[in-house]
Structure 1
Amino acid sequence: MNESIDTALIKKNILIIDDHPFIIEGYKNGITRYKPTQYEYSISQAVDCKSGYELITNPNTVAFDIAFLDISMPTYEEKGLRSGEDLARLLKEYMPNCQIILLTMYTEELKIKNIIDTINPSGLVIKNDLTFEELLFGFDKVINNEIYYSQSIQKMLDLAQQETIEIDVFDKQILFHISKGTRTIDIPQYVPISLEAIEKRKLNLKKILNVHDQTDTELVREAKNKGLLF
């Protein structure tokens, strides 16, 4: 006797707001190609802050699961909506469970950090980074409840983090000798501080670099990734 197989598709309600219709079509084309045997998509679209407002606040609108919002778009001054950021705040008010992906041409570090700090979107994409494959990759991340930043944004954030990490000459020497395979117990032969001090500095370095591995392998890898070790 054959067991019945549940083939019901998972329904996802998607919102796309962009003032360029061909970009909307590109997003729709990419989204509908993502696991079509697993998901069924209902896609709504708007072209400016006014039409976006009307969709989001309409009591008959089914709550959106994921929203793609262009940051720069025609305003709706009557409601004080001047950008995709304002629409994102509106979405959070009306549909707090909606995962928001913001798309922008901005590349200024302060602007990007401000968007992350004030909106905390599930995805943030610089449009110049966006290819068909990257769209699918980012959509996969967000639909699986992960945060997605496009390549340029991630590089910008990594560089900013490197610039804020401050370690002294002893920390650098400790990292160097660890990377060469020197045992921690032997490092005092090369660095003129006590073994206890070295252990404390290692723990602090792991904290700074957000390393949870008990071994030193991940510490060395992260130090290299952050430009602290070459």
Structure 2
Amino acid sequence: MKSPINVLIVDDHPFIIQAYRNALNKYSEQGYEFTVTQAGDCKAGYEAITDPKNDFQMAMFDISMPEYAEKGIRSGEDLAMLMHETMPECKVILLTMHSETEKVNNIVRNINPSGLIIKNDITFDELIFAMDRILHDENYYSQTVIKLIGHKQNFDHNLDTIDTQIIYQLSKGVPGNELIKYIPLSPNSIENRKAKIKITLGVEYCSDEELVEAAKEKGII
């Protein structure tokens, strides 16, 4: 078991906090241990960050929350800036319903979070995938964010040449049952590889078309 990771979650929706907790619990099966502190508004988030007893390694902030005007903390963005100042090594993940181009670009430019996720993009499996990337010192931007900022995220996919060829042939419209014409493997081996590719890309339960789209979003093809 690795050293415990202290996580701060600040969101004004209890069911969202529970979803993040569930994802952390699921990811703990990879050998991680998480200690979670949660808060429901900017005031409680501010108090958690400025408490000298706390030392967070990862923080997840909703952007739109009840403000703490007394301290000038009006959003999760302000909490993220405060976290950068107070605990610069903490990996900050921002989650939002906003998908305006200017808003997203400002967040990336001014805060440069380890993760930026549009809530409408995220699934349970994708949230676990995002945590994995971030805990391995990579940035994670959800699909809408990538489209809005106009570039691919740095994605260490660990796929070999055959995996990439499978994705390429699917992108050319080759049906899954005809991949054997192009890939020197048995049908069962090809299907097993496809399943592993989907897990690697964080889209375990998807069609071949959706697999290709995920690969494009991550800059693989």
After TM superposition, give the deviation of residue 78 of structure 1 in Å.
0.3
Q: What's the counterpart of residue 15 of structure 1?
A: 8
Post-superposition CA distance 1:148-189 (Å, at most 9, x none): 0001111222379xxxxxxxxxxxxxxxxxxxxxxxxxxxxx
Alpha-carbon contact 2:58-2:92 (below 8 Å) kept? yes
Match of 1:83 in 2: 75
Does structure 1 residue 127 correspond to structure 2 residue 115? no
Distance, in Å, in 2 between the alignment partners of 1:123 and 1:95 is: 16
- Of 30, 39, 49, which aligns to 1:46? 39
Contact 1:9 1:37 in 2 (8 A): no
1:32 shift after superposition? 1.4
Residue 59 (structure 1) shift: 1.3
Cα distance in structure 2, aligned partners of 1:10 and 1:149: 26
TM-score, normalization: structure 2? 0.67
TM-score normalised over the length of structure 1: 0.64
Conserved 8 A contact 2:104-2:149: no
What is the aligned partner in structure 2 of residue 97 from structure 1?
89
> Which of residues 20, 25, 44 in structure 2 aligns to 1:27?
20
What whole-Å deviation, never above 9, does each CA across 1:118-149 have from its counterpart, x for those lacking one?
A: 00000000000111011011111100000100
Correspondence 1:70 to 2:62: yes
Q: How many aligned positions are there?
A: 154
Letter in 1 for 2:126: E
Q: Answer whether contact 1:72 1:104 (CA < 8 A) is retained.
A: yes
Cα distance change of structure 1 residues 66 and 72 upon mapping to structure 2, 3 Å threshold: same
- Confirm or deny: 8 A CA contact 1:103 1:126 kept in the other structure: yes
Contact 1:10 1:38 in 2 (8 A): no
Letter in 1 for 2:50: T
Give aligned-pair identity as a percent. 52
The runs of 4+ residues in structure 1 deviating greater than 4 Å are none
The residue number in structure 2 matching 1:146 is 138
Q: Rg: which structure is higher?
A: 1
Q: CA deviation at 1:9?
A: 2.9
Task: Tell me the secondary structure at the aligned position of residue 117 of structure 1.
Answer: helix
What is the alpha-carbon distance in structure 1 between the residues aligned to residue 151 and residue 31 of structure 2?
Answer: 38
Q: What are the residue-to-residue correspondences of 1:219-230 with 2, within 5 Å?
A: none
Give me the whole-angstrom Cα distance separating, in 2, the residues matched to 1:77 and 1:156. Answer: 30
Provide the C-alpha distance between the structure 2 equivalents of 1:55 and 1:28, rounded to a whole number of angstroms. 17
For the aligned residue pairs, the C-alpha RMSD in angstroms reads 1.8
Change (3 A) 1:117 1:37: closer
Runs of 5+ consecutive residues of structure 1 not aligned to the other structure: 1-7, 161-224
Q: Paired residue for 1:190?
A: none
The AA in structure 2 aligned to 1:135 is L
Please list the CA deviations of residues 50-96 of structure 1 after superposition, one character each: whole Å capped at 9, or x if unmatched.
000111101121x1111000000000000000000000011011111
